[in-house]
Chains A and B, each alone.
Chain A
Amino acid sequence: MARLRGSRHIGSFESSKRLRAFTLFESVVAISIITILLVVASMIYGNIMSSEKPLSYYQAQEEVNKIFNETKAEGAFFTKNFSFETFDIQQDVEFYKGNTKLYEITYTVTSGTKEWWIQKHLIANTQDV
């Protein structure tokens, strides 16, 4: 039965007269190309995802703005640390280059051991006479 089938099969090939036999080679090349591309794609995707800032980064920006505005409104220019679930904000206050008419406020935002950013502001010291 198997022989009969095989002979039928060969017969059909023979009847087509010409047979291109690069399917295996082509398949290997195709699989190789796609594999390489997928590897590159995953590397790029990984790279992009690792360089994207986490949501908490933007939350930290909001918190820094809020803390800065509260500090200004209350006139409470003191060095403080603010701890949040995924980040910390260090507020350092000093006189700007020793000039008592101006406060220099530095915010250092960190997540674990990673420093996200530092931003600085000047505020006039209205109490200075």
Chain B
Amino acid sequence: MRLKSSSIYYALFMSLIISLFLGGMILFSSVSKQFSSQLALEDRLIQNAQSGVQYGLANANEMNFNSPVELDLFSEQIDSVSITKTKWGAYAVISSEAHAKKKSYSKTALAGQINEANDPNLYVVDYGRPISLSGETRIEGKCLAPESGFKRAYIEGKNYQGDMMVYGSLSSSEKSLPSVTENFSDDLLNFSGLIEKWDNQDSIDISFAEQGKHFIDDNFVSLRNVYLKGQMVLEVKDSIFVSKDSQLDQVILKSKVIYIESGFVGSAQFFASERIVLEDEVVLKYPSVLGLMEGETPIEKQNKIEIGKRSRVLGTVFALSDNPNFRLPIQIDISKESQIVGLVYCQGKTQLKGTVNGSLYTQKFYLETASSKYENHLLDAQILDDLPENFVYASLFQSTNPLTQLQWLD
């Protein structure tokens, strides 16, 4: 019989097991530390990217478009950010990319001008004629109107129902509208995307972190059952039809004429040179823009924005004219039961039969009824001072105020 004493083998086996266990612990510890430091770095990058956006919003007036600003945020040599201001239609976009240790993180924000407490709710240019109110017209908030003020009128069998002419403050307006930012119209499509021919794509989603696309078509484009989202511009020479089953989000459409079918719901910026028509019951969600920009050479056509019955626009509506045709001034027509929440700016005539909750700037009012046409008359119109706090308009006016973030862009 032979007795083997093998405790050394057991010991070696045990030491192997313990070594593996220790190795595992060391590995786990090192991975955990690395992971933790990566998370801390990513947190710092996110915070710096957000701080970069805030820097861009605060200093937007000093920044030039498409010229990145590089800075070390907190002067600690690890907080470098690159901040860029670009245009996205009537709004500004502030992008911030934070870098540290070969890693980067970017944030992009859509921004505009915040609704200030002292912004007028109504501004009508003083052409020496009063504004006549009738029916259930109600004007709230800060009002700048012709020196001749308001008077009661009897139209279509309706007297003015209100106790007061203005439910707020009233002061005299100037003989012209507050001017829009210099080059505002020219900069609207200041966009450096890849130019492509429109090929009737039915689904496009372009992140604001990527390079955008500028689609062009020479004729007429009908958008039916399409899904368009993100950083894309569709510019069509003749006209664009948007059907009710189309899904639009953040995109820009530009043409001579834009026609939006009844029942459409979406958010986009629409720019036209002749006409924008919203049929009844169209909803343009925040932050949408309807912009009519009459060219330098006035044409013998009535250029206008028509907003159909029971439609809602949340954002900004403007009609600009570089060289107004005084016989056929540019128009905005807001139908009965329709509502615009935000800013309306018209360098021509506005027919208000619905509601503007926010600010309305216009040269004149007009009113067409079945029997007659009136100037500077309002019938059953509502101008309300009930905008949500922090409501952001398009950057239409020259302002020294910082920009305000509207939403994060993907």
Contacts and interface: CB of A to CB of B under 8 A. Distances in A.
Interface of A: 12, 15-16, 18-23, 26-27, 29-31, 33-34, 37-38, 40-41, 44-45, 47-48, 51-53, 96, 99, 101-102, 104, 117, 119-126, 128-129
B5 A119 contact: no
B372 interface: no
B21 to A, nearest CB: 7
B8 A20 contact: no
B2 A16 contact: yes
Contacts of B3: 16, 19-20
A26 B44 CA distance: 55
A22 to B, nearest CB: 6
Nearest to B50: A121
Given A16-B3, A29-B11, 13 more contacts: A12-B1, A26-B7, A34-B15, A40-B22, A44-B26, A99-B58, A119-B43, A121-B50, A121-B54, A122-B54, A122-B55, A124-B55, A124-B402
Contact of B29 (A23, A37, A51): A51
Contacts of A99: 58-59
Contact of A27 (B1, B7, B74, B402): B7
15 contacts: A15-B1, A22-B8, A26-B5, A26-B11, A30-B8, A30-B11, A30-B12, A33-B12, A101-B402, A104-B74, A119-B47, A121-B50, A121-B54, A124-B404, A129-B401
Contacts of A48: 25, 28-29
Secondary structure class of chain A's binding surface, majority of residues: mixed
Contact of A34 (B14, B51, B52): B14
B22 A120 contact: no
A41 B22 contact: yes
A20 B10 CA distance: 17
Given A37-B18, A37-B22, A126 B54 contact: no
Contacts of B14: 30, 33-34
B7 A30 contact: yes
A70 to B, nearest CB: 16
B307 interface: no
B36 to A, nearest CB: 8
Interface string B52-85: 1011011100000000000001100000000000
Contact of A18 (B2, B52, B402): B2
Interface residues of B, number: 44
Contact of B5 (A18, A20, A44): A20
B179 interface: no
Nearest to A72: B54
B10 A30 contact: yes
Contacts of A19: 3
Interface string B172-195: 000000000000000000000000
A21 B5 CA distance: 8
B33 interface: yes
Contacts of B32: 52
B114 interface: yes
Contacts of B401: 126, 128-129
Interface of B: 1-8, 10-12, 14-15, 18-19, 21-22, 25-26, 28-29, 32-33, 36, 40, 43-44, 47, 50-52, 54-55, 57-59, 73-74, 114, 400-404
A20 to B, nearest CB: 6
B15 A41 contact: no
A63 to B, nearest CB: 15
A23 B5 contact: yes
A8 to B, nearest CB: 14
Contacts of A102: 54-55, 58-59
Contacts of B4: 20
A101 B10 CA distance: 72
B372 to A, nearest CB: 46
A120 B52 CA distance: 12
B73 A122 contact: yes
Contacts of B52: 122
A34 B22 CA distance: 12
